[in-house]
Structure 1
């Protein structure tokens, strides 16, 4: 056993197990695993819609009509763009199951409470002017990844309050002769009414503030501090990477949360690089958005390398299967299947390589470009689903960019391997125990 594996087994694993056993964290982790089906389905349609071939969208229009690109993105919108709603329900449901209370009713209350916190208006540009349109719930805004933090908090809040009322017997009791469905409905009346009232009060209070809503306040407090990390320096890049990793570890789509803040800064650098190339000069900037595209091969944490390790080295049937399912989306930089299927989200052991890997790649790639070994990003805009190697070639305009990404993948696999080996060993023990129990059960029968 290597020193690193020993440290992971003796120092990190015991702490990780205690953290993993915490009921709220387990409910959150299980919830993201629950919605993995939606994410995989959405990922397939996303790849179809954004396949990285020049003229792909024009070809779709030519073959299937002008409405086809929007049509093929509809499954993405009802999966990814409603993620917060699903999570609000799933967190409440999974936590309620641990409390042995009416999980279905609690999950519905959680959805209602979450939607109640969302402002029912939208800023829409009409005739060149921004207009506030009332009674509109925008797809992909607060109901999407942008609202995940509040969705998780709402799920926990609703389940906890409901549990208090039920355990304290503060509910309407019906005679035993009353059907179970009716009895559950009446027992949920008091806690449900209180939960909705509290949510309505919270909505009203925040509506009178400069934020306008609880969601806007939490989003601002989370996203805006990230500006302090943004700068055209390695330290800024590392800071952004660490922040993104922390968000993803909590199951929060850091791309949706942070990119709206940092993209204006990136665009300025990209435009300056393009202008320099057009003038026959070398691009002045390294840390454009495309630099981060080179880093995140397979998504945050460069998890494409982790998927390859799962396929090649896993002894666990479950882990090997997750690797096979996740590697194709990973090639197109979609990593939700492995993030929520393994899971990496809220997994303290996986958190270490998830955090370390992009930092190491930033240092490697920045150094390679700073010293002129690999050309700097040329400023071109690529679909984020462009596969690694192709991506490296196009972003740098050189085969050296593709070779750099190939080297990066090898580095990634080396970082992820010892941690996945520890996780795989534990999963194998679980699978063997389950198999023995099944065999023992069959023998008794």
Structure 2
């Protein structure tokens, strides 16, 4: 075990930490963390507009008028439907801060460049005839979750080009005494002009292709196949779950390392579910981010069940106290106390249930949603600290979601029981030996 821990400490962990700390990945991760505020706010209004009670929409119309359902959905549209614009700005801003360059100007250039890549006409079907409306930037679509991949690329590329000009000292210098705001504006003229010009060239080139735009090409060649495997495939879900659990076993926060990569695919699926519900249809997708929220009760590995088991059933004094301390954080999906306190991290006995539990839950939950026993996720975005059961009810819009999570907890307890039992017995033996040693110790002089 010492050799294994040494191997992890000296070889594996530094590589994983280096990948996690890579500036572009960190900028992406931090940017998604930044816009979570918008997504949570939009989700609150989504819950208000679509609260899972029969007759709720009719009650809103009766109390506040016919226009109220559309009005209450407006915050949802300015949060979810502008998501790619926010990400393009946030990535440029966060990456620019790391380069110590003018973050605000670069973020504005990133927004402008991203919008410049979007086709400015929209197709509308009226009485079976398709009409093309020019000079229209459609809410949702490319500026929503569908354009996230290009938004990420634009945020990074724009920042790198701007930073290159700064490093090469290619800018218009203003004399001393000129206000700082004016000086910054002129210093950004050359890199800004080059960035917008290059973006315009890219737009023109792709407009001449069968795709019509860079966004459509990337979405067709990259996003849709990747989404099919990573975002909406059981095998992809299992692979992601195993990787996340493995990272946590090594003591690495898998959420911060992996979610920034897969969240763009999740958000597109989530947006499709929300659109279906608004249209009165059944959500088409199961494996959204909310599906994983249902799985990870208490955090990665579904460790809330472990905390409850330790608090109620452990014979070891130490394990029982760890369980008691970890239950409250676990209820809000914070699992560091039990991960590092039991510990689960680098614990060979805990490795198998840590990997196995979420995989089993993925298979169970996917099956019951696929056959229609439990409703599919409705697309609302909940704070990651939302307690289980409440979480299950809100994500599915049904008490069946809460009952599914309750069932999942018992499944996790069943998987962990033999392993926790072995660990508990060993810990009890250690505690008895320690107490015996204390009793045998002679304090007399």
**Into which bin does the TM-score normalised by the smaller protein fall?**
0.5 to 0.7
Partner of 2:268: 257
Partner of 2:53: 53
Tell me which moved more, 358-367 or 207-216: 358-367
Matched, 1:33 2:33: yes
Partner of 1:115: 115
* C-alpha displacement of 1:152: 0.9
Give 3-state SS (helix, strand or coil) of 1:131's partner.
strand
Matched, 1:192 2:177: no
Compared CA separation, residues 103 and 412, structure 1 to 2 (3 A): farther
> For 1:415 and 1:7, how far apart are their aligned partners in 2?
28
1:163-174 mapped onto 2 (5 Å cutoff)? 163-174=163-174
Which sections of structure 1, spanning at least 5 residues, go unmatched? 264-269, 272-287, 328-336, 339-348, 417-445
Matched, 1:238 2:231: no
Give the structure-2-normalised TM-score: 0.64
Compared CA separation, residues 378 and 97, structure 1 to 2 (3 A): closer
Give 3-state SS (helix, strand or coil) of 2:170's partner.
coil
* C-alpha displacement of 1:358: 5.9
Partner of 1:158: 158
Give 3-state SS (helix, strand or coil) of 1:142's partner.
helix
1:203-282 mapped onto 2 (5 Å cutoff)? 203-225=203-225, 237-239=234-236, 248-250=259-261, 252-258=263-269
> For 2:42 and 2:133, how far apart are their aligned partners in 1?
29
Contact kept in structure 2, 1:145 and 1:252, CA below 8 Å: no
> For 1:104 and 1:391, how far apart are their aligned partners in 2?
36
For residues 81-110 of structure 1, the C-alpha deviation after alignment (integer angstroms, 9 at most, x for no partner) is 111111111111111111111111111101
Give 3-state SS (helix, strand or coil) of 1:210's partner.
coil
Larger relative CO (CA 8 A, sep 6+): 1 or 2?
Answer: 1
* C-alpha displacement of 1:200: 0.2
* C-alpha displacement of 1:362: 3.6
* C-alpha displacement of 1:321: 11
Contact kept in structure 1, 2:27 and 2:91, CA below 8 Å: yes
1:387-426 mapped onto 2 (5 Å cutoff)? 388=392, 404-409=404-409
Give 3-state SS (helix, strand or coil) of 2:124's partner.
strand
For residues 173-227 of structure 1, the C-alpha deviation after alignment (integer angstroms, 9 at most, x for no partner) is 1111211111111111100000000000000000011111111111111243258
* C-alpha displacement of 1:406: 2.1
Compared CA separation, residues 36 and 165, structure 1 to 2 (3 A): same
Give 3-state SS (helix, strand or coil) of 1:66's partner.
coil
Structure label with greater radius of gyration: 2
Compared CA separation, residues 96 and 223, structure 1 to 2 (3 A): closer
* C-alpha displacement of 1:13: 3.7
Compared CA separation, residues 169 and 9, structure 1 to 2 (3 A): same
Partner of 2:387: none
> For 2:201 and 2:9, how far apart are their aligned partners in 1?
47
Matched, 1:302 2:295: yes
Partner of 1:377: 372
Give the structure-1-normalised TM-score: 0.64
Partner of 1:74: 74
Query: Alpha carbon RMSD of aligned pairs, Å?
Result: 4.9
Partner of 1:438: none
Which sections of structure 2, spanning at least 5 residues, go unmatched? 245-256, 275-280, 309-321, 336-345, 347-352, 381-389, 417-445
Tell me which moved more, 183-192 or 52-61: 52-61
* C-alpha displacement of 1:262: 11
